[in-house]
Amino acid sequence: MVKDKKIELLENSAVKLTITVDQKDVRTEYDNLLKKYAKDAHVKGFRKGKVPTNVLEQKFGESIRIEASQQSLEAAVKKVFDEIEEKPLPYSQPELADEPDFSMEKDLVFSITYDTFPKIELGEYEGLQIEEPQVSISKDDEKRELEQIQEQNAMVMEKEDAVIEDGHIVTMDYQELDGDGAPIDGTSREDFTFTVGSGYNLYALDDDIKGLKKGDTKTIEKDFPADSENKELAGQHKSVKVKIKTVKVKDIPELDDELAKDVNEDFETLDDLKNDIRSRLEKNLETRIRQMKIDQVMDQLIESSTIPVPASMLNAELENSWQRFVHQFRAPEDQVLQLLQMQGKTKDELLDEWREAADKNLRRSLITQKLIELEKTEISDDELDAELGEHAQQGNTSLDEIKEYFSKQGMMPYLKQDLLERKAQEALLQSAKVKKGKKMTYLDVVQAKQ
């Protein structure tokens, strides 16, 4: 059937495949269809199955010719795909490069284009130069963590006679007034709650309500500058009447052994809590510095390697990101699109914002997979069990139970792939030449853009 095939490599791992189907085979397909339809065709003046082929050709010849050509085309494509290595990606639908000439008098020649898995040419990946930031965990870092724990364990209590100040949690009613002091319809809000000093209220009334108590009423006159962050209020004068309904304060617990016991029943003293904080900070720092070093070697490899990312692969990655984005809202896609529209954005605009990061992530993933292939990286049963053991410990369950869970959920292949990637990246770091980098604070490191 296939008389000839030609593969032309295009940019970004795209392929143009040109196939020639022998004219005799196309003609045979046409004749077979003609016979088939002659048995079933209903033509006025003829009994079923007795329609002469020349009559059938006069009435339906053109459509049968096209159908025969299309079936020949599809069969030829399937046969060639079974023979060649340059197969299309699962999410790359082959497309006709141009409209074929469906003639019965000559060979059927057509071309299709599609994306294939990219052929990666890695740059030098051993002995890369990287820097390791110099960081130490300070007393201030530990103090900040302790303060956050105090905040998380604070009790919120209503105070009848409390005078409002920063940090208090206030519930109030408010409404705009016109020039005559009359309420403006549609501007009222009841039981609005916010923390004073946070600025999380429409009219930025934090400073204006300080000094008030529960039950107090006040009319606040405010002029908003032309460059106000709230564009709806910019350059306007507003008169807002507020009524304070409740004032709550946070009862911050003392830093003592009792707080430590409240945080974790395994802790006996405040020192136990502090030691745990120190250990956690050190682990976070170690993880983040490792990631920073991986980022460095990966950035160098992206720069030095040839990675022709197919358009369909990038589009599929973006679509996956979109689906994860929609899932976060726990709402139908059309509602998420409406929310975006209210913010003056479209799905396409959002995908364009993500495109650069998605492209970089794909390149990193392709590089890592190529490293696994080149270095013949494998995960032993012991390594897999060790990883599963950590999951079991975190979930307070047994190794057998966690194995069964991962198997039933179909998660085992993903876990193995994750281990392979981590092992390949660790090998990169082991071969890298590390020199001391600049001094950084703990916060600078953990908050650095990833």
Tell me the average confidence (pLDDT) per consecutive run of 10 residues in the chain, 450 residues long.
92 95 92 81 66 73 88 95 94 91 90 95 94 95 95 90 93 94 92 92 92 95 88 90 95 94 94 96 95 95 95 95 93 91 90 96 95 95 94 91 94 95 94 95 85
Per-residue model confidence (pLDDT) at position 348: 95
- Report pTM: 0.75
Residues 175-217 pLDDT 10s: 999 989 999 998 999 999 999 998 888 899 999 999 999 999 9
Q: Would you report the helix, strand and coil content of the chain in percent, each value rounded to 5?
A: 50, 20, 30
Alpha carbon 203 to its chain centroid, in Å, reads 35
Residues 327-345 pLDDT 10s: 998 889 999 999 888 888 8
Per-residue model confidence (pLDDT) at position 50: 65
Per-residue model confidence (pLDDT) at position 253: 94
Cβ atoms 194, 170 nearer than 8 A = yes
Residues 143-175 pLDDT 10s: 999 999 999 999 989 988 899 999 999 999 999
Per-residue model confidence (pLDDT) at position 43: 67
User: If DSSP codes are grouped into helix, strand and coil, which group holds residue 250?
Assistant: strand
Structure-token pair, residue 402: 């966690």
Per-residue model confidence (pLDDT) at position 54: 72
User: If DSSP codes are grouped into helix, strand and coil, which group holds residue 73?
Assistant: helix
Percentage of residues of the chain with pLDDT beyond 90:
79
Per-residue model confidence (pLDDT) at position 60: 79
Distances, alpha carbon 175 to alpha carbons 111, 182, 199, 242, 293, in Å: 69, 10, 18, 7, 54
Rounded-to-integer distance, Cα 16 and Cα 230, Å: 54
**Hey, which residues does 247 pair with through a beta bridge?**
170
Per-residue model confidence (pLDDT) at position 275: 96
Closest C-alpha to 154, from 64, 63, 57, 254: 254
At 175, which helix (H) or strand (E)? Answer: strand 169-177
